[in-house]
Amino acid sequence: MTDLLYVNGGTPLQGTISVRGAKNFVSKAMVASLLGESASVLRNVPQIRDVGVVSGLLDLHGVNVKYDPDAGILDLDPSNVESAHVADIDAHAGSSRIPILFCGPLLHRLGEAFIPDLGGCRIGDRPIDYHLDILRQFGAVVDKRPNGIHLRAPRRLQGTKISLPYPSVGATEQLLLTAVRAEGITELSGAATEPEIMDLIAVLQKMGAIISVDTDRVIRIEGVDRLEGYNHTALGDRIEAASWASAALATGGDVTIKGATQPEMMTFLNTFRKVGGQFDVQDDGIRFWHPGGDLRPIVLETDVHPGFMTDWQQPLVVALTQATGLSIVHETVYENRFGFTEALRQMGATIQVYKECLGGGDCRFGQRNFHHSAVVSGPTPLAAADIEVPDLRGGFSHLIAALAAKGTSTVRGISLIDRGYESFQDKLVALGADVSRG
């Protein structure tokens, strides 16, 4: 089977699908299992590539990983980590961003760690300077190696006071996973507070950690000597849910998403309503639909939580091509997240990208030559095209555009979408889409 999907568009998506645990939480909770002296159980785990990648890494490090994909249950037993054999770790270079989060747990357990080069979506430079600064402040010694980085902890890591220049999700998680077993108290200001981070804090608390989340992005951790395994059910994937909601809107459809939850999606729901979409929060999910008539243009700025999430941006932009008037989208989290609009233009969308900060305040990228603002003019009918998936969310946006377009599109490189969307082809079929694998 080749890595492409034929999408015969023009049919509104209709029906019910489910989302399971969040990609951006499950992988971190899996890493947390390394900190426990006993086994952990994680539930609501989706069958996505990132779970496979982190399972492989944990396995290399001596964690016994058992996954039941139907039940969505992961058993993680770290009792053999000390005797692990990590010679093949290089093979994991470029697979995801998660390896960088192994630093703290491995330093605590083994006193050293080798972290292969990171992968993840190419939507900006994505440096790891905050991560390395944090680790050095705890007392780790960091050496760059040809295929990654090597870290040592000459003595037990020490709690510290850190202020992040930007509320980075990964750096906040790095700090949490390192501070919980460091000696003494750690205080982080400028922390990210995404729901996935709060769920990671819940997991760590179950393991025996002492963490308080104060107002104004301050997190305090009292290090402890020992942590146990956890038993936890992952929060739902709010990015996957918003992606399907955007697909419903762009195709004029009506989709109920079991497992979508209101508190984590409040900001998305407000925006969805402003564009003219309707939703109904139900006991076990949320129904999203296009009520007919014109969609409205909006001015949108992506931001850290509780702002409009950057990962929601790409799918929603496709729906904005169907709104009547000019929408402005200012991407403030990543400097290079509008590459996917090239394919949309090829399909007939009118989207211009700009280096200036449009639509509101200035951001970190304002004077730095990055195309990080977009103006979308609609409505424009979309026509089928031959397109290549550029990254995870950009790829899903291409799928949405192909579903909304007249004619049969060829979407190439769709296996990239498996990284974060469980069984997306089955879900498309369940919603009435006319798709077939090449």
Ligand X SMILES: CC(=O)N[C@H]1[C@@H](OP(=O)(O)OP(=O)(O)OC[C@H]2O[C@@H](n3ccc(=O)[nH]c3=O)[C@H](O)[C@@H]2O)O[C@H](CO)[C@@H](O)[C@@H]1O
Ligand Y SMILES: C=C(OP(=O)(O)O)C(=O)O
The residues that touch ligand X, with contacts defined as CB under 6 A, are 24, 97, 124-131, 166, 168-171, 192, 309-311, 333-334
List Cβ neighbours of 390 (8 Å cut-off, separation of 6 or more). 122, 339, 340, 343, 398
Two tokens at 369? 């030559």
Residue nearest to ligand X (CB): 170
- Choice between 182 and 333, CB closer to ligand Y: 333
For tokens 């804090």, name the residue.
Answer: 201
Q: How far is the CB of 14 from ligand X (least distance, A)?
A: 29
In single-letter form, the type of residue at position 157 comes to L
- In whole angstroms, give the CA distance from residue 33 to residue 109: 12
Choose among ligand X, ligand Y, none what residue 426 binds, the Cβ cut-off being 5 to 8 Å by kind. Answer: none
Q: Which is nearer to ligand X, 279 or 312 (CB)?
A: 312
Beta bridge partners of 66: 75
Phi-psi region of 395 (alpha: psi -120 to 50; beta: other; left: phi over 0): alpha
258 annotated as a binding-site residue: no
Question: In terms of DSSP bridges, do strands 64-68 and 73-77 run parallel, antiparallel, or are they unpaired?
Answer: antiparallel
- Look at residue 372 and give its three-state secondary structure: coil
How near is the Cβ of 222 to ligand Y at its closest, in Å? 29
The residues that touch ligand Y, with contacts defined as CB under 6 A, are 23, 96-97, 120-121, 123, 311, 392-393, 420
Smallest distance from ligand Y to CB 7, Å: 21
> 367: which residues sit within 8 A by CB, 6+ positions away?
none
Is 311 annotated to bind a ligand? Reply is: yes
Residue 333 binding partner per list ligand Y, ligand X, none, with a CB distance cut-off of 5 to 8 Å that depends on partner kind? ligand X
Q: CB 211: neighbour CB atoms within 10 A?
A: 17
Please state the closest distance from residue 165 (CB atom) to ligand X, in A.
8
Helix spans in 276-387 (H): 310-320, 341-346
Three-state DSSP class for residue 392:
helix
Q: Report the partner that residue 428 touches, choosing among ligand X, ligand Y, none (CB closer than 5 to 8 A by kind).
A: none
Helix (H, G, I), strand (E, B) or coil at 8: strand
Tell me whether residue 169 or residue 177 sits nearer to ligand X (CB atom): 169
Residue 97 marked ligand-binding: yes
- 183 SS3 class: strand
Give whichever of 289 and 424 is closer to ligand X, judged by the CB atom. 424
Binding site annotation covers 333?
yes
Which of ligand X, ligand Y, none sits in contact with 168, Cβ below 5 to 8 A by type? ligand X
Q: What is the DSSP string of 405-419?
A: SBSEEEEE-GGGGGG
Rounded least distance, CB 256 to ligand X, Å: 25
Residue nearest to ligand Y (CB): 120
Contact 254, 12 (CB under 8 A): yes
Of 181 and 393, the one with the shorter C-beta distance to ligand Y is 393
Give whichever of 84 and 363 is closer to ligand Y, judged by the CB atom.
363
Among ligand Y, ligand X, none, partner that 400 touches (CB below 5 to 8 angstroms by kind) = none
Measured distance CA(95)–CA(49) in Å, rounded:
10
> Which positions are catalytic?
121
* Residues forming a β-bridge with 326: 377
Identify what 393 binds: ligand X, ligand Y, none; CB under 5 to 8 Å per kind: ligand Y
Residue 421, binding choice from ligand X, ligand Y, none, Cβ under 5 to 8 Å by partner class: none
Is 336 known to sit in a ligand binding site? no
Q: Which amino acid is at 391?
A: D
Strand partners, 302: 308
- Cα–Cα nearest to 168, from 265, 29, 304: 304
C-alpha distances out from residue 36 to 77, 138, 169, 230, Å? 9, 20, 22, 8
| Residue 302 CB, nearest approach to ligand X (Å) | 9
CB-based contacts of 214: which residues, under 8 Å, 6+ apart?
220
Distance of alpha carbon 351 from alpha carbon 343, whole angstroms = 10
Q: How far is the CB of 121 from ligand Y (least distance, A)?
A: 4
Residue position matching structure tokens 């609501």: 44
Q: How would you class 204 by CB atoms within 10 Å of its CB: exposed for 0-12, middle for 13-18, buried for 19 or more?
A: buried
Residues in binding site for UDP-N-acetyl-alpha-D-glucosamine: 97, 311, 333
Residues in binding site for phosphoenolpyruvate: 23-24
Residues in binding site: 23-24, 97, 311, 333
